[in-house]
């Protein structure tokens, strides 16, 4: 990949896509092809084929997807299955057909079995049943992995797959219902602080463990893989920063300055009990995450506050 290479980042307005764009621009890449969802709906097969036939990008970061937290996954199963199958199938096929040199597909740690041995190695995929709250999304993402592997075997297309752990950072989705836990709780604690509430509700028991990674570290790993990894085996991307949801909630309350009580609501689902990734494969390439959780949360809260004053933030660049 050279700084003049033509690079398409699908989903460049999302959290991951915008982090990859920041990283590419910081490294001097200046031949970026970008389309908003309004300009190019990636579910529309004909539109995607036309776009690739005209633009013929050399490298593709596939960071567009129907994404959300436990509630969104559980509530919109048809969208999580259909949109993700369509987006990834259209993009992978058109990239290959129009001569792309390489494509990076993003899966997720939630594609592994619910009760997986820990830390999770890449080879544990498809060894036992999935977590029911996100099986539709997981099935779609597993199909994405298999699509990349099939195109590599049959057509020698250099499609690679990264499996990130739970991500957070600037430009995240801070929706009160449909977001992931970290941005969701930043908003809930912030609003509770402004109202002077005495307590904040935390979904579930607080006992599940999650590994959190700053999205800039994911962008760093994505660049490394795009530059130097060309195999069909999937690659985990994790940070080792594992905390319980109760511990996470206390860290966020401290960062936001909320001094009231935390009230756990066990009527809401916990989801997977634990999903810590084994990242030996990536470590063997000399990689490790840099941003620790506490400063990462502080920076994300600052980005949330900035976006309150500038509501177009999530839709930039």
Ligand X SMILES: NC(=O)C1=CN([C@@H]2O[C@H](COP(=O)(O)OP(=O)(O)OC[C@H]3O[C@@H](n4cnc5c(N)ncnc54)[C@H](OP(=O)(O)O)[C@@H]3O)[C@@H](O)[C@H]2O)C=CC1
Ligand Y SMILES: C[C@H]1O[C@H](OP(=O)(O)OP(=O)(O)OC[C@H]2O[C@@H](n3cnc4c(=O)[nH]c(N)nc43)[C@H](O)[C@@H]2O)[C@@H](O)[C@@H](O)C1=O
Q: Which residues are catalytic?
A: 137
221 binds, among ligand Y, ligand X, none (CB under 5 to 8 A by kind): none
Among 21, 32, 106, 140, contact with ligand X (rule: CB under 6 A)? 106
The DSSP H or E segment spanning 210 is strand 209-214
Among 56, 268, 274, 314, contact with ligand Y (rule: CB under 6 A)? 268
User: Where does this chain touch ligand Y (CB under 6 A) — which range of 27-35, 54-62, 182-190, 303-311?
Assistant: 182-190
Question: Which residues, in sequence order, are bridge partners of residue 83?
Answer: none
87 binds, among ligand X, ligand Y, none (CB under 5 to 8 A by kind): ligand X
Distance CA 88, CA 111 (A): 15
The distance of closest approach from Cβ of residue 46 to ligand Y in the complex, given in angstroms and rounded to an integer, is 29
Spell out the residues 6+ positions from residue 202 whose beta carbon is closer than 8 angstroms to its own: 185, 245, 246, 249, 262, 263, 264, 265
The distance of closest approach from Cβ of residue 107 to ligand Y in the complex, given in angstroms and rounded to an integer, is 8
Q: Does 181 bind ligand Y (CB under 6 A)?
A: yes
Query: Would the CA dihedral through 64, 69, 72, 78 be positive or negative?
Result: positive
Q: Which residues are annotated as a binding site?
A: 11-17, 106-109, 141, 164-167, 180, 188, 203, 210, 270
DSSP state letters, 230-282: --SS-EEE--S-EEEHHHHHHHHHHHHT--SEEEEETTS----S--PBP-HHH
Spell out the residues 6+ positions from residue 19 whose beta carbon is closer than 8 angstroms to its own: 169, 170, 171, 215, 216, 218, 219
Distance CA 13, CA 258 (A): 30
User: Where does this chain touch ligand Y (CB under 6 A) — which range of 12-20, 181-189, 216-224, 227-235?
Assistant: 181-189
User: Where does this chain touch ligand Y (CB under 6 A) — which range of 42-50, 201-209, 292-300, 302-310?
Assistant: 201-209
Residue with tokens 């941005």: 183
Spell out the residues 6+ positions from residue 124 whose beta carbon is closer than 8 angstroms to its own: 112, 113, 116, 117
Q: Does 98 bind ligand X (CB under 6 A)?
A: no
Q: Does 200 bind ligand Y (CB under 6 A)?
A: no
The distance of closest approach from Cβ of residue 87 to ligand X in the complex, given in angstroms and rounded to an integer, is 6
Q: Does 271 bind ligand X (CB under 6 A)?
A: no
Nearest CB to ligand Y, comparing residues 48 and 279: 279
> Which residues bind to ligand Y, rule: CB under 6 A?
68-71, 73, 108, 110, 134, 137, 166, 179-181, 184-185, 188, 202-204, 208, 210, 245, 268-272
């Amino acid at each position: 990949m050279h700084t003049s290479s033509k690079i398409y980042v699908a989903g460049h307005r999302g959290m991951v896509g915008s982090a990859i764009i920041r990283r590419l621009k910081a490294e001097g890449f200046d031949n970026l092809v970008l389309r908003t969802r309004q300009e190019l709906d990636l579910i529309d097969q004909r539109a995607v084929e036309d776009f690739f036939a005209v633009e013929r990008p050399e490298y593709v970061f596939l960071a567009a997807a129907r994404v959300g937290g436990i509630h969104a996954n559980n509530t919109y199963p048809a969208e999580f299955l259909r949109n993700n199958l369509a987006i990834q199938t259209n993009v992978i096929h058109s990239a290959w057909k129009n001569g792309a040199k390489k494509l990076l597909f993003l899966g997720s740690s939630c594609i592994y079995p619910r009760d997986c041995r820990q830390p999770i190695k890449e080879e544990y995929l498809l060894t036992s049943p999935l977590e029911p709250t996100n099986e539709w999304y997981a099935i779609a993402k597993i199909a994405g992995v298999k699509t990349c592997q099939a195109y590599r075997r049959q057509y020698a297309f250099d499609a690679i797959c990264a499996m990130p752990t739970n991500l957070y950072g600037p430009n995240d989705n801070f929706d009160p219902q449909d977001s992931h836990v970290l941005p969701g709780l930043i908003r809930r604690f912030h609003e509770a602080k402004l109202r002077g509430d005495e307590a904040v509700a935390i979904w579930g028991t607080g006992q599940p463990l999650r590994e959190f990674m700053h999205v800039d570290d994911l962008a760093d790993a994505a660049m490394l893989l795009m530059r130097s990894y060309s195999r069909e085996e999937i690659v985990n991307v994790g940070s080792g920063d594992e905390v319980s949801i109760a511990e996470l909630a206390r860290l966020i309350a401290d960062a936001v300055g909320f001094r009231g009580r935390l009230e756990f609501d066990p009527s809401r689902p916990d989801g997977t009990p634990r999903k810590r990734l084994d990242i030996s494969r990536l470590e063997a390439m000399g990689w490790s995450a840099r941003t620790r959780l506490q400063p990462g949360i502080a920076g994300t809260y600052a980005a949330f506050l900035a976006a309150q004053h500038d509501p177009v933030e999530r839709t930039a660049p």
